Amino acid sequence: MRELILGALVVGAFSGVDIEHLLDTPILGAETIVEVTGEELLGYGEGMTVEQRDGEAVVVTGPEFSFELALDLDPGTYSLAIESSAPDRGSDSLWLVVDGEQQPQPILPPVGPIAERSGGFSIDEAGAHSVSLALRESSGQVIRAVRLRRNALNIPQEPMLAELAGQHPRLYFTADDIPAMRARLQNPRVQDYYHPAGVLTRTPPAFNPDGRNGGAFRTLPNYALSYVLEPTPEKLAGIITWLEMATTYPHCGVDLDAEYFMEGIAYCYDWLYHDLPPDLRDRLRDTIVRQTTEVYNASLSGHTGGGLSFQQNHYWYAHLAMILGAAAVYGDVPEAREWLAWGWDRAERIFITFSPDGAFHEGPAYWDFSMPTLYMLVDLYERCTGLHVPWADTGLSGQAVFRFHHMYPGMEHGATLEDTTVSSRRPPTRLLLWEAKRFQDPVPQGIADLLKHDSTPLAFDFLWLDEGVLPGDPLVDVPLAQYYPDVETAFARTSWADDATWAALVSRPLGGHLWAEMCARYGLSGTGHNHPEQGHFMIFGRGEVLAHDPGYTYEKKTRNHNTILVDGQGQYGDGEMWPGPKPGRATITGFATEGPITIIAADPSSAYPEELGLTHFERIVALAGEDLVVVRDRVAADRPRTFSWLLHHIGAVEATDHDCLITRGGAQLSIQPLQPAQVTLTTERYLPQYVHPTRDHTPDEDAEIGLVTLETGPVAQTSFLVPLVIGAAGDAVPRVESIGDDSFDGVRMGEIVVAFRGDADEMTVPLPWGETLRTDARAVVATVRDGERLVVELPGATPGAEG
């Protein structure tokens, strides 16, 4: 394998792309066939009026708008580009029509400044052709220019190795590999994870012109691999029935459904190539060509799922669909060479924008959903090109541990961070196996051994298993607490026992630092499954969620999270369905851990819009053992404002004017606010917006969530000091004592002292065993456990809260 590394700058070995030239596409050349500008546009249609904008002539579309280019074209791929803008979201789309046939994807002019947008299409036969535009919604678009371009790829090297190009199967294995694969079935270690699927007896669905299509075909590789490993006529017949139906599908779009469909039929075409009836094989090839052509044309114009959002799962799915189709029929049709080359160019842009800390920004549910596409993209790229993906070594190594940290004690359920439903459970085993195999890493293999259930018939539980990787012990090898600096997420737990206390805190730019900077630099978007939640924490203890996150909502509100509101208002992106990149750069500013004690500090202040006047927000969360978490916040603003401190739960609540007790199952959480002195405590229940126009994520249980709010009157600055005492339901609640002086605020509960430095350079903290500690740490936890003294200090400066 080869890789191209120039100093510290890693470059795409196929296309030459690097992080400094992310949107440059030297592989793509384009010849302008026709260019029409200004008043000339009137000669090509109707329903247009000429206006002057910024000293230039433009046309404005009316209700009778039409535009048509009639000309001779040679076979090839083309793009119709328009420099345009739309007045609002009700008029920001135009249909592209070629030879009277409306193309699947509209052209989407931006709302606001004029910019170029395009749509792609193919011409199969030379001769006279018509390329036109038509209204999709309301009129009022401003058009400055229309250009018709013929696309051509400058392919820098062959996109598939010669030794693979001439044979089937070739995706994941060749015919020479099959005897060894069949022998693996006798290995008890393999049998623990995989058994071949039986006969496919379900009836395939017919194409639904009014709905989504393709998803049912995604399981076909399970049956195709089963046939390869244990061939029987009955197994093949069941698969053929489904492939026959697949050939009747005209298309499955250019987004998720395209990949679901292609994942099924492309692997079947390649793996079963010599077993399929020739006529069916030809028709299946034509179906793959038809679908891949559609995705390719859309991708050339940036119109696939995900647009140009290289770190958004829709983009990964759409381009995996194109790559699977191209790799399956490579050498069988000449166009596949261009499709695959363009696919690798797009894949390198995905790879280059991986989070560099082995983490993921869209939450554990979308980790489960999205990682299969990334792992297939890496596998197919490296297998077909012989090139190495160096970004996988940093961006994908460690992902299993990251996902493992989301598991609550007991290892059955997981945190509902970002767009994750409350039913979140263990991650798919195959994804843990992929990392163990690729990096020959015992840790993800040990996690897979710990979390897997029974043997499955899933193809990739076999293909991504390396039974030669010996498992480690994740309960020894994985730290109790870990901080991820790119996605600014920290996890902590007191032990790996089922009755441990677990906590997490998030404070980051939407998408993580690297992706946020790429979006700002290049005007990209695509952080849609992130929430406006910076400073948000969760707590799980005594077997129950105690500080809750409602998870997947369609109106993503700061109010749904355990953070702070300013004058009742939230952070950038508050109320949006799919928040895009924002200017905020929230961070985690400190992390200290030893044994069962972890202290996490965050600065979420820049996540709030400037008009809210927030000048300072420092949050420190101290996990001080199984029974105590303390949250200390210091906030300040440009003028007196109301600050609301939020904690969500799904339990029963008993509240007084000064504190409250939440009971959930066998656990309880006592909220005992000590600061500020003047604060109003209220409780309520409400239903977050779980309902989307096309789907409903309302949980079957605990849909309404409880909210405890601590609210100040209008103040310019204040501090919240809130001990959270965890215990078994019904137990007497220990009272927390407030301690402190001019140098620090703190609490004591039994043999635990937690102290937070104020504006002084140092603080002197009374320790549980009678001594004092003089320190410049920002926070200290001191405790006695099993007769042993333990002190954990969070170093670093603590700025004052004056703003």
Q: What are the DSSP calls for 166-177, one per residue?
A: T-SS-SS--GGG
Give, in degrees to the nearest 5, the angle at Cα 616 between 363 and 521.
55
Residue 11: predicted pLDDT = 58
pLDDT, mean over the chain? 94
- Mean pLDDT, to the nearest integer, of 121-147? 95
411-420, 454-463, 569-578, 693-702: segment of lowest average pLDDT: 693-702
Q: What is the mean pLDDT of residues 742-768?
A: 97
- The Cα-based distances of 261 to 242, 258, 321, 630 in angstroms read 11, 5, 8, 50
**Average pLDDT, integer, range 672-687:** 96
With tokens 């040679």, the residue in question is 74
720's CB contacts (< 8 A; 6+ apart) are: 631, 632, 633, 635, 643, 645, 673, 675, 676, 679, 710
What per-residue confidence (pLDDT) applies to 7?
28
Mean pLDDT throughout 535-539?
98
Residue 542 pLDDT greater than 80, yes or no: yes
> Tokens for 136?
């999709």
| pLDDT tier, 152 (very low <50, low <70, confident <90, very high otherwise) | confident
Q: pLDDT tens digits, residue range 161-180? A: 999 999 999 999 999 999 99
Determine the average pLDDT of the residues in 250-254. Answer: 93
- Give me the residue label for tokens 């679901």: 260
* Tens-place pLDDT, residues 779-789: 999 999 999 99
Here the tokens at position 313 are 């799962």
Q: Calculate mean pLDDT across residues 419-443.
A: 95
**What's the CA gap between 135 and 92, in Å, rounded?**
10
Residue with tokens 């979140």: 424
pLDDT at 798: 56
Nearest CA to 689 out of 549, 578, 556 is that of 556
Q: Tens digit of pLDDT for each residue in 472-519?
A: 999 999 999 999 999 999 999 999 999 999 999 999 999 999 999 988
pLDDT score of 731:
96
pLDDT tens digits for range 88-115: 878 888 999 999 999 887 888 888 889 8
- Quote the CA–CA distance of 330 and 533 in Å, as a whole number: 46
Strands 587-594 and 652-655: unpaired
* 694: amino acid identity, one letter: T
State the burial class of residue 275 (Cβ atoms within 10 Å of its Cβ: 0-12, 13-18, 19+).
middle
CA angle 224, 226, 229 (to 5 degrees): 110
Q: If you write DSSP's letter for every residue of 399-417 in order, what string do you get?
A: HHHHHHHTBPTTSS-B---
Instruction: Give residue-wise pLDDT tens across range 596-650.
Output: 999 999 999 999 999 999 999 999 999 999 999 999 999 999 999 999 999 999 9
Query: Residues in the chain, how many?
Result: 803
Task: Say what the pLDDT of residue 576 is.
Answer: 92
- Is the separation of the CB atoms in 417 and 364 below 8 Å? yes
User: What pLDDT, on a 0 to 100 scale, did the predictor assign at position 184?
Assistant: 98
Asked if 385 and 160 count as a contact pair (C-beta separation under 8 A), the reply is yes
Query: 422-458 burial string, b = 16+ CB within 10 Å, else e?
Result: bebebbbbbbbbbbbbbbebbbbbbbbbbbbeeebbb
pLDDT, tens only, 584-606: 999 999 999 999 999 999 999 99
For the entire predicted model, the pTM comes to 0.92
pLDDT for residue 801: 42
Q: Could you give the CA distance from residue 93 to residue 136 in angstroms, rounded to a whole number?
A: 6
Question: According to the 3-state scheme, what is the secondary structure of 524-578?
Answer: CCCCCCCCCCCCEEEEEECCEEEECCCCCCCCECHHHCCCEEECCECCCCCCECC
Q: How would residue 4 be classed by pLDDT, with cut points 50, 70 and 90?
A: very low
Q: pLDDT at position 6, please?
A: 25
